Structure 1
Amino acid sequence: MAAFAVTYSYIESTLPERDHHRPGHVEFLRALFEDGTLLTSGPFNDDGIPGALLIIQGEDADAVALLMNGDPFHAHGLIAERTVRRWNIIYGG
């Protein structure tokens, strides 16, 4: 399995809907973490565009994108932009 960096970008106007769907989003990610698919994730904490970084294990970028379509944030159209890029881990797991 390869590692993929998945980035989410949000727009501020979706914050109320993201708050509403956050429990489902967290549960979706928790399940991926518990089965070893999600290696790590978290929101960006700078003053730039709100978003998040997720490191996902998968066969290829298409499979990871398909998997991440199950995230309630994606299913409800709350992600302004999503990228999926193969990431070569040198140090760490």
Structure 2
Amino acid sequence: MSVFAVEYVYAAGSDDVRAEHRPAHRDFLAGLGTDQDGTALVASGPYADGSGALLLIAAPSQEVLAQTLKNDPFAIIGSIAALRMTEWSPVLGELSHHA
């Protein structure tokens, strides 16, 4: 199991549609780890400037995670302009037990 830092960059002008779908998006993220794909949410939250968000997600592989994130309501409605996924090793601090 690896931890991935996932960066969402929100599409310009998508504030209203994201606000509408935010409850479903948060339910989706909270539900990670309840199905059989092996993903689990470590932490997530939006950037203070509203430009995007950072998600830390444990997953068996980048391919599995990419497939899972296609089901995020924000992805389905097209409010994510760019997505960057990087394997991350938290060696110190409160999240280091995920390494």
Question: TM-score, with normalisation over the residues of structure 1?
Answer: 0.87
**Displacement of 1:28:** 0.6
Q: In structure 2, what is the Cα distance between the partners aligned to 1:52 and 1:33?
A: 20
Match runs of 1:38-53 below 5 Å: 38-46=41-49, 50-53=51-54
User: Which runs of 5 or more residues in structure 2 are unaligned?
Assistant: none
Q: In structure 2, what is the Cα distance between the partners aligned to 1:85 and 1:13?
A: 26
Superposed structure 1 runs of 4+ greater than 2 Å apart: 33-36
Q: Deviations over 1:34-53 (max 9, x none)?
A: 7870000111114xx71000
* SS in structure 1 at match of 2:67: helix
* SS in structure 2 at match of 1:57: strand
Q: In structure 2, what is the Cα distance between the partners aligned to 1:58 and 1:80?
A: 23
**Displacement of 1:75:** 0.9
Identity value in percent: 36
Aligned length: 91
Q: Which residue of 2 aligns with 1:25?
A: 25
Q: In structure 2, what is the Cα distance between the partners aligned to 1:34 and 1:64?
A: 14
Question: TM-score, with normalisation over the residues of structure 2?
Answer: 0.82
**Displacement of 1:12:** 3.6
**Displacement of 1:30:** 1.4
Q: Deviations over 1:6-45 (max 9, x none)?
A: 0000134011111111110011111127787000011111
Higher helix share: 1
Q: Give, as a single letter, the amino acid of the residue that structure 2 aligns with 1:7.
A: E
Q: In structure 2, what is the Cα distance between the partners aligned to 1:86 and 1:77?
A: 24
Q: Give, as a single letter, the amino acid of the residue that structure 2 aligns with 1:18.
A: R
